[in-house]
Amino acid sequence: MSFITDFIEFDFLFNSLIGVILISLICGLLSPLIVSKRLAFMGSALSHSSLLSISLSLSIFTLDQALPLFTLNTLLITLLVSTLATFTFRQKIPTDSLIGIFLTVSMALGIIVLKLFSKQNVDLSSLLFGNVLLITRTDLLILFILLVTVFFTLWIPRHKWIFLIQDEEAALIQGVNIKFYHYLFYILLGVTVSASIKLMGTVVVNTLLLIPGVLALKTARSLKSMVLISTVFSLAFSILGLVLGNSFELPSGATIAVTLFLGLVVCVKLLPGSGQISKL
């Protein structure tokens, strides 16, 4: 049972467990929106572009300076996502190539900046797949505030979000400020990635932003059950991934990503609603 008691005994593991719980709840809330808005590729570009913002931030601060690092990283990632949001707002031409270029160039620049200017020696794989040792109490506080913010930002104007996803033009006619919500959504994603990068890394955040939403949209029969399935699945399989990673001494982020995928496969087989994935 040591693989469970470890989480109580060691502070860094306890912090990582709380961090995983908070991140999985945030991503569980956002994920159905990303998938239903057909922004999976954009989410991927956004999470990977955070490699550039975190590398730039690490040229000024170190990993243990949690608050200033988060603040600068969030500012930079907001700048990056605003650019992406501008280029993808009500475009008639396909934006996937632009997003693809954005993804690869920002990642490449991130690696170069990290190599040339980082104030401390940072392992690239930690930024891609996260590191349980990097999480601090300040990071947990930031994640908690973000969870509350994301919840209320989605819950209070929930009808507007639904309207926007279903039919942007009809929402516009009914007086919904679609530009505001377009940017707000991108910024929420940017801040989520920024707050999660130390524990989860860019790749695992991307997985958490997609897999729960795919399962929820595939199996849910109502909006309430969609949110419930997405958050419970995200929470359960992220914790399972963390525990498995610790017990088998595997990298936690990578184990969480694989566990989420296996969880998706199992749930798709077990839960009703199979055969609808092509309609998502």
Residues engaged in binding another protein (CB under 8 A)? 32, 35-38, 159-160, 162-163, 165-167, 169-176, 216-217, 220-223, 225-226, 276, 279-280
- Separation CA 77–CA 217 (nearest Å): 28
Take residue 203 and report the two structure tokens written for it.
């790749």
The DSSP-derived string for 151-202 is HHHHHTTHHHHHHHHH-HHHHHHTT--HHHHHHHHHHHHHHHHHHHHHHHHH
Shortest CB 37 distance to another protein, Å: 8
Take residue 271 and report the two structure tokens written for it.
């839960």
- Separation CA 37–CA 91 (nearest Å): 14
Shortest CB 204 distance to another protein, Å: 24
Shortest CB 121 distance to another protein, Å: 44
Shortest CB 176 distance to another protein, Å: 7
The runs of H, that is alpha helices, within the chain are 2-9, 11-36, 40-58, 66-88, 96-117, 124-129, 137-155, 158-166, 168-173, 178-219, 223-247, 252-270
Shortest CB 119 distance to another protein, Å: 44
C-alpha distances in angstroms, 88 versus 83, 183, 246? 9, 10, 40
Take residue 81 and report the two structure tokens written for it.
């996502």
Shortest CB 226 distance to another protein, Å: 5
Check residue 89 and report its DSSP letter.
T
Take residue 119 and report the two structure tokens written for it.
């104030």
